[in-house]
Structure 1
């Protein structure tokens, strides 16, 4: 699977059943070459024009399953941090 394939999938949190958006990038460890997380855009803000807040990263170990159309992640609401 290529990174561009991940960008076309919707990320859904199985703890809250809410959609988090589509990945815009990935993080990886340059020494090992392993993926460490998915980067998602922050929440939309209204500031004259629509713009996004800070991006946030979902750690790779929180990904439960990657399907044809969606990526399921497990992030309990109490762990979710606002940027």
Structure 2
């Protein structure tokens, strides 16, 4: 068993490129099944005069590959990566 407070302090790492996405800011729970549908990584705030914040990253539960002691490994690809790859091809 894992508590939500323990879950939130783990780093979320994308196995596609090895980058740290951040930490879990929220979770989506299906009220009918009582299961977690997705984790949400809060977008970071903009710095030095840029207002607003980055988009939240929503990772479906099925894309969580491994929950370790310090890290949560996920499979995540941003749509901007797809656009860059299509332009390069």
Per the normalisation by structure 2, the TM-score is 0.77
Where does residue 59 of structure 1 map in the other structure? 60
* Conserved? CA contact 2:21–2:41, under 8 Å: yes
Name whichever structure is richer in strand by fraction: 1
Q: How many Å separate the matches in 1 of 2:33 and 2:54? A: 30
Name whichever structure is richer in helix by fraction: 2
Unmatched 5+ stretches in structure 1: none
Unmatched 5+ stretches in structure 2: 81-89
Per the normalisation by structure 1, the TM-score is 0.82
- Note closer, same or farther for the CA distance 1:69–1:51 as it changes in structure 2 (3 Å cut): farther
Give the alignment's Cα RMSD to 1 decimal. 2.0
- Which residues of 2 match residues 1-83 of structure 1 at below 5 A? 1-46=2-47, 48=49, 52-75=53-76, 77=77, 80-81=78-79
Greater radius of gyration (CA):
2
More relative contact order in 1 or in 2 (CA 8 Å, sep 6+)?
A: 1
Q: How many Å separate the matches in 1 of 2:69 and 2:15? A: 17
